[in-house]
Structure formats: structure tokens, C-alpha cells
């Protein structure tokens, strides 16, 4: 597969036989080979990586070849997270967000409107008003899906509906659409052996910059305080950001509730109640 997509002979494969898997190309170049989980997933990921790379802010692995179901990217040698790398990452993330998007919900150029976040469908539908767009396309669809799967009880959906009804007042100052990674949990942050961070597995789209930051803090990120300090050096936060973290974490928590079950639904309910308390 790697040979077909890159035009270079493969001389060895890593221990993993699934996806992603490490393969060595002729000349000793290690690459990663990944299979898309659903139609359009590879096209969305490739378009997202290239859109993020075009900002020239935070590095991503180079795409070396792809088709509709498979992609080959460079392998990034990883190292230990450090405070200086974290500070630079925060500065770069601010610049990435500032590169912007045509509108909320914008798909990367060449990317499909019907994309994915992990294995969950994610629709990149356009919007001009973040509170209404976030409610319609990043909260309520996953509430409905969680109810359909039995992960969320029908009576519990009301708390999310109340959050959505109050979003215009809870959202804080209006901001322009940011160029988001879209699935920025720590597992998608590679701390390179060269001291530079790379981002992988994006669900890239135009959104609110605080959503990426909230997701980064949700599952734990090394030296997060340094990441945020670097970010604020470049792009100061709007007043009240900390009070809005739970609001922005609703999206990833509800996605996880759909994919992984009741525990995340309970976390999403807690976050919704916290958002309403402000």
C-alpha cells in the first residue's frame, strides 16, 4: 500500500498489522500508513492536514500519498514534553487560529461537508453566528444521537436544550471564525524529538478558538499552563474564558458519549450544568 501511494518501494513493516501501521520505505524512511474508517474520512483528514499546514503556524506530518481509503504520512520521532516546547506550541496554536476560516463550519479546501471527528460523523455546515451554529451543528446532533443510542436519557436532553437557548448570552464576546484542529486532545499532539510539536488526526473546520483550547484541557495536556501562556502572548483571551471552558467542552464530551458510552454522558451533563451556572 505504501509503495503504491508513494511510488517508492517498501522495505519493511512495523510490528502493527492494523491501522495505523509503521512502514519503512526504500532508503530507510519510516512512514505511517492509515486506513480510513468510513467513506470520505481520508479525504477529510488529508484536506485538514494541508489546511493546517498552510497556516505555517504549527507543524503537521507531511502527506506523502493517499487515495479514497488509505493515506501515508511521514513518521514523527517523538520525545518528552517540555515547558519550552509547550510555550512555542501555544504561540503557534494562536497563530493557527488567527489564520481564520471563511465562516463557522467551513470545511478545509477540498474537504467534504460530511466529515468525521474520530469515528463520529461531523457535518461542516456554514453559519455566520457562532452561538446558533454551535447549538445546531456541534451540540444538539450529538444529544439526539446519544438519546437514540440509549447513552443519554430523553429527560436529560433538556439541560442541553437550555444551554443552547442561552448560548447567545453565555458565549462571551463575538469572535471571528478560527482555523481549528477540531479534535485537539492530547493524543493528537505529538511532542517531537526535535522539540517541535506536530498535530495529527484533525477534524479541521472553522469554529471558535476556545473550543480547541477547552478540548486540549479536557483529557490532560502536559505543561498546559505553558501552552496557555504562550497562546496569550500572541492572542490574549477574551474576558471570562475560564468560565466558558465547560460550554466548549460539551462538543467533545457529547461526541465521546455517542462513541463510548454513559460515563461521558454524565460528564457532559455536569459540564452543561456548570455552563448554566455562569
Residues belonging to the active site: 183
CA–CA dist 231, 73 (Å, integer)? 27
Give the CA dihedral 9, 11, 14, 19, nearest 10 degrees: 20
Please give the DSSP secondary-structure letter assigned to residue 238: P
Q: CB of 169 within 8 A of CB of 199?
A: no
**Residue among 38, 120, 114, 23 nearest 73 (CA):** 23
- What are the angstrom distances between the C-alpha of 115 and each of 20, 42, 135, 214, 260? 19, 9, 18, 21, 19
CA distance 182 to 198: 14
Amino acid at each position: 500500500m505504501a509503495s503504491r501511494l508513494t511510488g517508492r518501494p517498501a522495505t519493511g513493516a512495523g510490528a502493527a498489522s492494523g491501522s495505523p501501521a509503521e512502514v519503512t520505505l526504500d532508503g530507510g524512511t519510516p512512514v505511517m500508513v492509515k486506513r480510513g474508517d468510513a467513506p470520505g474520512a481520508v479525504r477529510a483528514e488529508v484536506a485538514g492536514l494541508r489546511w493546517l499546514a498552510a497556516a505555517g503556524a504549527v507543524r503537521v506530518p507531511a502527506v506523502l500519498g493517499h487515495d479514497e481509503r488509505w493515506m501515508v504520512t511521514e513518521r514523527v520521532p517523538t520525545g518528552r514534553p517540555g515547558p519550552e516546547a509547550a510555550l512555542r506550541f501555544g504561540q503557534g496554536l494562536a497563530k493557527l487560529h488567527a489564520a481564520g476560516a471563511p465562516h463557522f463550519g467551513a470545511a478545509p479546501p477540498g474537504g467534504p461537508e460530511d466529515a468525521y471527528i474520530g469515528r463520529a460523523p461531523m457535518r461542516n455546515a456554514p453559519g455566520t453566528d457562532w452561538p446558533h451554529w454551535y447549538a445546531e451543528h456541534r451540540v444538539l446532533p450529538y444529544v439526539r444521537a446519544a438519546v437514540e443510542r440509549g447513552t443519554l436519557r430523553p429527560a436529560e436532553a433538556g439541560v442541553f436544550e437550555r444551554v443552547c437557548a442561552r448560548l447567545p448570552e453565555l458565549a462571551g464576546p463575538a469572535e471571528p471564525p478560527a482555523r481549528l484542529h477540531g479534535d485537539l486532545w492530547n493524543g493528537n499532539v505529538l511532542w517531537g524529538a526535535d522539540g517541535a510539536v506536530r498535530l495529527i488526526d484533525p477534524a479541521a473546520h472553522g469554529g471558535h478558538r476556545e473550543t480547541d483550547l477547552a478540548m486540549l484541557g479536557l483529557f490532560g495536556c502536559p505543561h498546559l499552563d505553558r501552552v496557555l501562556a504562550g497562546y496569550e502572548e500572541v492572542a490574549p483571551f477574551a474576558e471570562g474564558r475560564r468560565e466558558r471552558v465547560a460550554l466548549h467542552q460539551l462538543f467533545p464530551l457529547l461526541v465521546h458519549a455517542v462513541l463510548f458510552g454513559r460515563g461521558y454522558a454524565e460528564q457532559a451533563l455536569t459540564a452543561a450544568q456548570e455552563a448554566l451556572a455562569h
